[in-house]
Amino acid sequence: MRWRLMAAFIGVTLLMLLVQDIPLSSYLRTVENDRIVTALERDAFVLAGRSEEFLESPTPADESTLAAVARTYRDAGGARVVIVDTAGTAVVTSDDDQSSFGSSYASRPEIAEALTGRITSGERYSDTVKTELLYVTVPVFSGDRVLGAVRLTYPSQVVTDAVSRQIRLLGLVALTTVLVAGLVGLIFSGRVTRQLKLLQGATERLAEGDLSARADETSGAPELRSLSTSFNLMAERLNSLIQQQRTFAADASHQLRTPLTALRLRLERTRNLLHTDPAGATERLAAAESEVDRLSNIVEGLLLLSRTEASSAPLEVLDLASVAQERMEQWQALAQESDVTIVYEGATAASVRATALAPEQILDNYLDNALSVSPAGSTIVVRVAVAGAHTTLHVLDDGPGMSPEECTRAFDRFWRATSDHPGSGLGLAIVSQLARASRATAALAPRPGSGIDASVTFEAVP
């Protein structure tokens, strides 16, 4: 992957350079050609001005002076100078041997054009010097009369050489750019692949059973940091689920061992008493049935607790007041059998965020515990209190109550206030887990005098 990333960087850079430099080289040739033509036209007009007086009345002194100027110009810029009269005959050239002096240039198209009073420029092949020439020809005016013409010629190779130098410079820049792109690609791909290798290593360690394996979330590209964060969340969730399974297995084996042993002993005793003491055997069978019921409650509680721990159900908007009143009505019949009254206090409507069925199950557990400890003739109050951003459900009983330390420990698994207390010790642990799944807080607090205030606080919905 590292080399593919580098190749991609270099390939994209080369493509961009080709797209840019090919049209640029053509543009540079055009610009250089126009620059030279413009300079030649300017110089040709200057020489035309110097030639006007000589072409009107030629003198040997003026001719030598003008020839010296033409040679000086040739030496300075490299352009060949030819000055002709109205007949197209060369009267001054920049040649050292002056072999072209007196030669007719009237057949040259650019000379003939200039003698008609027009400026000409362009490129053409010269049979004389056997090369492509860049030329500029301007007429020499005296008022409205054309006295002659000045032609400057420049080898096209000069333009080509100038453009080639610039293209070589561009090539050097392009090569440097490609090398820099390769270096950047090497560094970038190294960082990317290094982070991916670290993430791969963490994945392999996790697959081998190392639940502490985590990816680095602090370095690398934002996408890789996000991927590492997602991996760590997955690892945390997996570790939590495995720990829950281990806890469930440990709790189940620990809590089921004692009642199973007791059940076995009762059944063995019952078998021994079947023939000698039928009444005693019947009593032992009743005790065994009670132990089976306890086992059933423990298993159901463990399974429910396991499901709530593994659950990641989304939060919903529920009417806590409506749920409280509905569940209270369902418990009224059992409360009447125990000579206990259940009353409702608080808001008529209170919207909260919670997982589905969580408020119902929490309230059922609280009411079950309250009924088991409430004396005959007492009252259980179910209250919904709205306070700003939170709404709290209270279940208030008049039972014997507990100390603050016992209220804190009551949410631990299998904890019971006394060994002879009914239940499996899982009800409040389930309440605590359901509250956490709903982003809520469950609590127990002793009431003044006696009794318990069992509460759960949810996020209120305006």
- pLDDT tens string 91-111: 888 887 655 677 888 888 888
**Domain of 123: which CATH number?**
3.30.450.20
Q: What is the pLDDT of residue 389?
A: 93
Using one digit for the tens of pLDDT, what is the confidence trace for 312-345?
567 889 999 999 999 888 888 888 888 999 999 9
Q: How many separate domains does the chain show?
A: 3
Residue where one domain finishes, among candidates 289, 307, 325 = 307
Strands (DSSP E) contained in 117-242 are 120-126, 131-142, 145-155
Contacts of 402 (CB under 8 A, 6+ apart): 410, 417, 444, 446, 452
The answer to whether residue 376 sits within a structural domain is: yes
The answer to whether residue 82 sits within a structural domain is: yes
Q: Does residue 250 surpass a pLDDT of 50?
A: yes
Question: Does one domain contain both 146 and 239?
Answer: no
Question: Does one domain contain both 369 and 237?
Answer: no
Residue where one domain finishes, among candidates 279, 307, 335 = 307
Looking at per-residue pLDDT, the higher value among 12 and 106 belongs to 106
Using one digit for the tens of pLDDT, what is the confidence trace for 414-449?
666 554 455 555 678 878 888 888 889 999 999 988
Question: Does one domain contain both 19 and 130?
Answer: yes
Question: Does one domain contain both 360 and 266?
Answer: no
Question: Does one domain contain both 127 and 6?
Answer: yes
**Domain of 248: which CATH number?**
1.10.287.130
Using one digit for the tens of pLDDT, what is the confidence trace for 366-401?
998 899 889 999 999 999 999 989 999 999 999 888
Band (195; pLDDT cuts 50, 70, 90): confident
Q: Are 134 and 156 in contact (CB under 8 A)?
A: yes
How large a percentage of the chain has pLDDT more than 90?
A: 17
Question: Does one domain contain both 127 and 48?
Answer: yes
**Domain of 425: which CATH number?**
3.30.565.10
The answer to whether residue 227 sits within a structural domain is: yes
Residue where one domain finishes, among candidates 162, 193, 210 = 162
Q: What is the pLDDT of residue 444?
A: 93
Q: pTM of the entire structure?
A: 0.43
Question: Does one domain contain both 373 and 289?
Answer: no
The answer to whether residue 211 sits within a structural domain is: no
Question: Does one domain contain both 439 and 347?
Answer: yes
Question: Does one domain contain both 293 and 346?
Answer: no
Question: Does one domain contain both 377 and 394?
Answer: yes
Give how far the C-alpha of residue 288 lies from the chain's centroid of Cα atoms, to the nearest Å: 62
Q: How would you classify the pairing of strands 131-142 and 351-354? A: unpaired
Q: Does residue 294 surpass a pLDDT of 80?
A: no
Question: Rounded to an integer, what distance in angstroms lies between the CA atom of residue 142 and that of residue 161?
Answer: 38
Q: What is the domain extent for residue 370? A: 313-459
Question: Does one domain contain both 14 and 131?
Answer: yes
The answer to whether residue 180 sits within a structural domain is: no
Q: Does residue 29 surpass a pLDDT of 50?
A: yes
Looking at per-residue pLDDT, the higher value among 322 and 58 belongs to 322
Q: How would you classify the pairing of strands 452-460 and 441-446? A: antiparallel
CA-CA distances (angstroms) from residue 240 to 50, 243, 431, 442, 458?
Answer: 99, 5, 19, 21, 24
Looking at per-residue pLDDT, the higher value among 446 and 156 belongs to 446
The answer to whether residue 451 sits within a structural domain is: yes
Question: Does one domain contain both 3 and 152?
Answer: yes
Mean pLDDT in the chain?
A: 79
